[in-house]
Structure 1
């Protein structure tokens, strides 16, 4: 039910004694940053007895409110179900969702204005500090996105331990660290490759994370992204959404570069069912509140397709396409002859125009091209009919595809996605990449050719399955060094800090 500040309370604890920790969790206000912290919050609440206060800005809170209310109805139905496994998974968690004011209009329905979002985050610092002062019981820690820098200021002022959470790859973390330490060249020499990023292949200028590419005069976004890496020593530790089998070299380098900072590798941060090798159930853990309503009808369509036959296409919550790119994608995907599940969210066109496909396209592809606004991606990738994933290569989507053993075809838009694509193709070997600019520029012929290779290449598929097995071992294994073990060590570390 709504709280006084418009927050949704997803209701109460079932613990006989007070929870061990009260964690205030603060994501950067984008879907791809909210999701992993929500999955982490559910794990901490269900397995480690945490009480969670999950803090969104007003506009993201409004966008998620409907999804959370819908979830509550599904959970009530699950609790009444004779399926005891489903009913047990729907047990209420001690997670309270609250919001703080922001200057984004109430009618906003998601945004691709990343600099605008970052400016809003900076301006929300005073409201966040007021919220912290008023919270009861007093928070025992703050777990916040590295890019929510004001949370460190509030933590320092109020004497609350802050845990920095990194939503992207370890290699991308090291790229930001290199930028913060001035290790990237101030000017670019044509043809020169950058080889100082741990756990990444030699990189071209355009492979670097977009906001930290070298500038003669750093702009607002460069400073916003780099400054938090000059203050990591103020955080009590860093949680990394990755795993050793995939990024061991980068993770080891980061720990050597920051000897005074504790780093816990706890990824892939996904619901436990994602590592079962089976279709996902409809439990609360397997549903993620989103900015757009998930269309579950696509799962029935997938049920009608042959195993491994479907190419799943989705470019995330922020990426934009030009009208020309949309048409090249459509014609290239049509030419493959594969069944295709294609997510085209509202507002995906760069100019904000009305989305239209080429004349006759829908008639020609009827029955084998299923187009929806937004998909329950975790369920889709776990479906046996899906053979491969055509993605923008954001880190969440990359990990979700890796955890299901799907080969990846990356078409990067911004931020970390170029680096992820380079690693997918040239380091991990579990997929291919398209170029947005320069050589290999997007055409229908390239879309068709690379999609066909992705769906048929045995080496790509074999490597993808090996990475999947590494992800499963990191989460399901109790051996020292696994992600599950690191999460347990993190909880024990917090407990020791709270006793001092």
Structure 2
């Protein structure tokens, strides 16, 4: 039944309860801002410290209210740990998350204005809480459907030993023969997945438990790019309604760049600079860090690198290869952090080398740059295969079986897209242009949000 015009005009109250990682909390807040921009009320439940760190992302404080949660101490997590930044033990954090169930229910009931919906991801018990207080539950997937599609393959053989071929040759109904793992990657994942109680499988199980009992599934993506993976997921969960939010990306900030970075970019020719950013989570060994820098030097192109200082080093400067600073002089700049979206928008950037995390994947696709990806973990690897092999908009840097990235392979990948007479460069540029035109069509993003809100109203009919 379609919602009436009267019901469509009613403002919603939505509660948000994301997993305890900033890569999950931030997309939940971006969606909160989109809802509040259209007059809907949002209650966001976050750990205490996260409410302070993320307060600047609340663009509509008159409609978005933060509610602070106190996480109970659990074995395996450091005292005071609240997010994945504080503890690498995801299972310990999951136990702490479960320990907030009574708090979550009390906050939502005490509000006096019970929500229409509770959005969640790894808190698989939220559908029960929603039912108890009389509202709907929505599983909100923020890091892409490809990893969930592979997770279904991982868990499909429950009770038997997972093999590498299960992952390199998934079942016929799996939506893509290209968005899969290589043999050596599949062996590593299978080996880890067969360890009882491992973090990866346990988190898959938690997510799928919530997806089996929620009222609807919501994906932070668009049908044009990942619809086939969303359909595959929906087919495993009772054909629950599948809602699409669109990309839900923040607007580019207008703050001026650091003068040193700005001067470096302004003196460079348009589309000439190679920009590399791997995010704060990637903490490399010193030898790999130096090998990458030598690879960028080897390209002969100007470059701006945003890399975390390697393990055992107190700063970027002390970890640079011998003589590197003198050799690259004014041609290269290495920082531990730069404002990625602002740099990508600069006219001098011609190539973006990235880990292909989900947010960066979309930022890359919306940019005008040539794209080179160096994934680090499983979801980034699948994102990369989607971009490079399925859509043909990027090149993936070849790794050794041990994950080593050689300076030769990095240089080869960058030059393959940056050399003017490169056939690969021309092909990915044309494919990228085609998809960017789709995603930047006037009204494209807004239409997704409006349709999403209409779908939410439809669930209340």
Give the TM interval when normalised to the shorter protein: 0.7 to 0.9
User: Which residues of 2 match residues 162-311 of structure 1 at below 5 A?
Assistant: 162-182=137-157, 186-189=161-164, 193-196=168-171, 197-199=174-176, 201=178, 202-204=180-182, 207=185, 214-215=193-194, 217-271=196-250, 280=252, 282=254, 298-299=261-262, 301-311=264-274
Residues 352, 371 of structure 2: 8 Å contact kept: yes
User: Which residues of 2 match residues 60-79 of structure 1 at below 5 A?
Assistant: 60-65=50-55, 68=56
Select 1:24's aligned residue among 2, 7, 15. 15
Shift of residue 332 of structure 1?
A: 0.9
Whole-angstrom distance in 1 between the partners of 2:164 and 2:458: 49
Shift of residue 369 of structure 1?
A: 2.2
Secondary structure of 1:424's aligned partner: helix
Shift of residue 398 of structure 1?
A: 0.7
Select 1:414's aligned residue among 355, 358, 377. 377
Shift of residue 416 of structure 1?
A: 0.5
- 1:53 aligned partner: 43
- 2:133 aligned partner: 158
Select 2:278's aligned residue among 297, 306, 315. 315
Whole-angstrom distance in 2 between the partners of 1:40 and 1:400: 16
Greater alpha carbon shift after TM alignment, 162-171 vs 54-63: 54-63
Whole-angstrom distance in 2 between the partners of 1:305 and 1:447: 22
Shift of residue 387 of structure 1?
A: 1.4
Shift of residue 91 of structure 1?
A: 7.5
Greater alpha carbon shift after TM alignment, 131-140 vs 233-242: 131-140
Shift of residue 114 of structure 1?
A: 5.2
Greater alpha carbon shift after TM alignment, 22-31 vs 294-303: 294-303
Select 1:470's aligned residue among 435, 438, 453. 438
Whole-angstrom distance in 1 between the partners of 2:394 and 2:162: 31
Greater alpha carbon shift after TM alignment, 313-322 vs 255-264: 255-264
The number of aligned residues is 435
Whole-angstrom distance in 1 between the partners of 2:18 and 2:260: 30
Whole-angstrom distance in 1 between the partners of 2:378 and 2:263: 34
Residues 190, 247 of structure 1: alpha-carbon distance in 2 compared, 3 angstrom cutoff: closer
1:35 paired to 2:26? yes
Shift of residue 192 of structure 1?
A: 7.9
Q: Which has the higher contact order (CA 8 A, sep 6+)?
A: 1
Whole-angstrom distance in 1 between the partners of 2:430 and 2:239: 39
Shift of residue 461 of structure 1?
A: 1.6
After superposition, the CA RMSD in angstroms is 3.4
1:99 paired to 2:68? yes
Residues 491, 195 of structure 1: alpha-carbon distance in 2 compared, 3 angstrom cutoff: same
- 1:361 aligned partner: 324
Whole-angstrom distance in 2 between the partners of 1:142 and 1:206: 40
Question: Residue deviations 1:65-103, cap 9 Å, x none?
Answer: 5xx2xx79xxxxxxxxxxxxxxxxx88662223321235
1:492 paired to 2:459? no
Whole-angstrom distance in 2 between the partners of 1:210 and 1:471: 35
Question: Residue deviations 1:152-197, cap 9 Å, x none?
Answer: 3432332321111111222222112333443897332579832333
Shift of residue 313 of structure 1?
A: 0.9
Residues 344, 373 of structure 1: 8 Å contact kept: yes
Question: Residue deviations 1:249-301, cap 9 Å, x none?
Answer: 32333344445311122222214x5xxxxxx4528xxx9xxxxxx96863554
Secondary structure of 1:384's aligned partner: coil
Secondary structure of 1:333's aligned partner: helix
Give unmatched runs, 5+ long, in structure 2: 1-8, 420-424
User: Which residues of 2 match residues 451-466 of structure 1 at below 5 A?
Assistant: 451-456=414-419, 457-466=425-434
